Amino acid sequence: MNSLLEKELSHKDKILKPDFSTRTGREFMAVYLYSKFKQILVYDKTHETPIFKHISNEFIPKFTKRLINNPEKRILIGISGESASGKTTICNTIKLATERLNMPVEILSADNYFKDISALINKHGSFDKLLASGYDVDSPDNFDMEQLYTDLLTLSQGTDVKIPQYLVNGTGIVIPKAIDKKAQKIIVVEGMATMYGKVADLFDIKLYIDIDPKIQEKWFLYRAVTSRNQNEENAKKQLEYVRNASKKYILPKKDNSDIILNGASSLDYFTEIIDYIYTITNNFSNEEQ
């Protein structure tokens, strides 16, 4: 990717910046971005661990049409995948890269829209005992999908919102309207709930993070023990539950994604792609040659 980036920056003759207020300008930008995206895909195939595993045939025409016809709407990107596939890690990488580049990006987790289950946890004695009772925590019924839909629709229309906060400390407590989220030009949402119901239809780009089961197990157990105060035995039981829930709720939705990414690809390489996207969308001349 560095070779592509260096080539892009070395051009002395810059393309005149399109006038995005006109349809012609937006159409030119759509064609330009499509050509650059093809360059990324060709380069990616030569990488030691390619990040792009699949691109839907309908994605590019659909996305460019949206950019041309509805330019004021915020770009919503949904990131889904199994637990411990790397969704949050990739979002953290996006956050660091976009903050460094001063890109207008907001990131939120759909897991904050879990319904409050603190009363159920207290009744059973612990979160692990609640799971052992057969409670299906990952069911779409256990998310406040209406609130998630309303908040994302509001953000897409350019209005800031306050989203809930689900505490991942085993208490199952949800604090309503706890986190401020700004209606930036690009809004990235990660979590399994991005795939459910009418919420999925809000996204301009649906990304699915694919992961090898052995790597998933390693990441899941490490996170459970180091970050979520679980012992390894309980974590392994929860992993079994998570995988069964994935077969029911997540894997059937995989084919509906626009792009499937390799969760085990290098984060440094992913950062390079973000740098390249930033460069190709900002490397224009403001004056005619």
Complete DSSP assignment for 159-178: --EEEEEE-TTTT--EEEEE
Asked, for residue 64, whether it belongs to a domain, the answer is yes
What is the number of structural domains in the chain?
A: 1
pLDDT at 231: 77
Asked, for residue 194, whether it belongs to a domain, the answer is yes
Sign of CA dihedral 34, 209, 93, 198: positive
pLDDT at 229: 67
Given a cut of 70, the residues of the chain with pLDDT beneath it are 1-14, 229, 285-289
pLDDT at 289: 43
Q: Cβ distance 250 to 76 under 8 Å?
A: no
The tokens for 75 are 């770009």
Tell me the residue range of the domain where 255 lies: 52-110+184-264
Asked, for residue 282, whether it belongs to a domain, the answer is no
Asked, for residue 269, whether it belongs to a domain, the answer is no
Q: Find the CATH number of the domain harbouring 86.
A: 3.40.50.300
Per-residue pLDDT reduced to its tens digit, 230-280:
778 888 888 888 899 899 999 998 999 999 999 999 999 999 999 988 888
Asked, for residue 207, whether it belongs to a domain, the answer is yes
pTM score: 0.90
Of 172, 205, 243, 200, nearest to 64 by C-alpha is 205
Tokens 């971005």 -> residue: 33
Q: Cβ distance 148 to 203 under 8 Å?
A: no
Asked, for residue 41, whether it belongs to a domain, the answer is no
Asked, for residue 115, whether it belongs to a domain, the answer is no
pLDDT at 287: 53
pLDDT at 167: 92
Exposure string (b/e) for 241-251, b if CB count within 10 Å is 16 or more? Answer: bbbebbeebbe
The tokens for 39 are 């360059």
Asked, for residue 46, whether it belongs to a domain, the answer is no
Helix (H, G, I), strand (E, B) or coil at 190: strand
pLDDT at 286: 66
Tokens 């393309």 -> residue: 15
Burial class (CB in 10 A: 0-12, 13-18, 19+), 166: buried
Per-residue pLDDT reduced to its tens digit, 11-35:
666 677 788 889 999 999 889 888 8
Angle in degrees, CA 278, 280, 285, rounded to 5: 115
